């Protein structure tokens, strides 16, 4: 089974409503639960600059990099690990395109975000990136808790 890391941004944006003010945490978690994925880890945490830079290292040197790191470090995030068949690909579909105006209606960004700089949620873009990101965001490891063993639910 694949796993994926999702970071729900809870930043208090200066110029627009944010995840906390709009109460989107439960909504986003609910979509992944209803799809049938299995929650392996979740925490609310502040993000230090070094972690933000490491997380977005692939974008270092791009003009939006400093602002992106500042953004992810500017408030607490909810870091989650979800598990299930093809969860990386499915998760990216559920999140929607990077630019909210290109995200399909029905996706998280398509339904709740307006601009690329405040697109609510990160999702690992490949199984390999997910492995690295799980190590980065959950150095303490994941719980081995299993919700149930019914074969039709993960
Ligand atoms: P993410 O990594 O956050 O899940 O987003 P993504 O894969 O859909 O997009 P990616 O290309 O990895 O970009 C990472 C984040 O950088 C910000 N960005 N800003 N101003 C810009 O042109 C620009 N381009 C990207 C977005 O917040 C994007 O999610
Ligand atoms: Mg990305």
Q: Is 117 in the pocket of ligand 1 (CB under 6 A)?
A: yes
The per-residue pLDDT of the chain, averaged, comes to 83
For residue 23, report the distance from its CA to the centre of ligand 2, in Å.
24
- The list of the chain residues with pLDDT below 70 reads 1-22, 147-154
Closest CA to 121 of 19, 24, 8, 42: 8
Q: Is 98 in the pocket of ligand 1 (CB under 6 A)?
A: yes
Q: Is 97 in the pocket of ligand 1 (CB under 6 A)?
A: no
Query: Is-contact 36 90, C-beta < 8 A?
Result: no
- Per DSSP bridges, beta strands 77-84 and 121-123 are unpaired
Q: State pTM to two decimals.
A: 0.86
Closest CA to 25 of 12, 8, 44: 8
C-alpha distance across the termini of the chain, in Å: 10
Query: Is-contact 91 124, C-beta < 8 A?
Result: yes
Q: What's the pLDDT at 145?
A: 75
Number of the ligand 1 atom closest to the C-alpha atom of 98: 8
Q: What's the pLDDT at 49?
A: 95
Angle subtended at Cα 34 by Cα 32 and Cα 37, rounded to the nearest 5 degrees = 50
Q: What is the pLDDT of residues 91-110, one digit of tens each?
A: 999 999 999 999 999 999 99
Closest CA to 90 of 38, 145, 147, 144: 38
Q: How far is CA 118 from CA 17, 23, 68, 101, 106, in A?
A: 10, 15, 9, 12, 18
Q: What's the pLDDT at 152?
A: 61
Q: What's the pLDDT at 14?
A: 30
Number of the ligand 1 atom closest to the C-alpha atom of 117: 27
Q: What is the pLDDT of residues 50-59, one digit of tens each?
A: 999 999 999 9
Would you call 122 a catalytic residue per the annotation? yes
| Alpha carbon 94 to its chain's center | 11
Q: What's the pLDDT at 11?
A: 32
């Amino acid at each position: 089974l694949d796993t994926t890391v999702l970071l729900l941004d809870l930043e208090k944006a200066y110029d627009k409503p944010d995840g906390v003010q709009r109460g989107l945490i439960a909504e986003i978690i609910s979509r992944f639960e209803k799809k049938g994925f299995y929650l392996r880890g979740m925490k609310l945490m502040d993000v230090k600059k070094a972690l933000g830079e490491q997380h977005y290292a692939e974008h270092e040197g791009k003009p939006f990099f400093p602002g992106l790191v500042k953004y992810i470090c500017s408030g607490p995030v909810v870091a989650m690990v979800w598990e299930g068949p093809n969860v990386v690909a499915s998760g990216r579909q559920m999140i929607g395109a990077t630019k909210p105006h290109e995200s399909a209606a029905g996706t998280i960004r398509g339904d709740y975000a307006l601009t690329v700089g405040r697109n609510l949620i990160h999702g690992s873009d490949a199984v390999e990136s997910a492995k690295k990101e799980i190590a980065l965001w959950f150095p303490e490891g994941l719980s081995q808790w299993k919700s149930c063993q019914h074969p039709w639910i993960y």
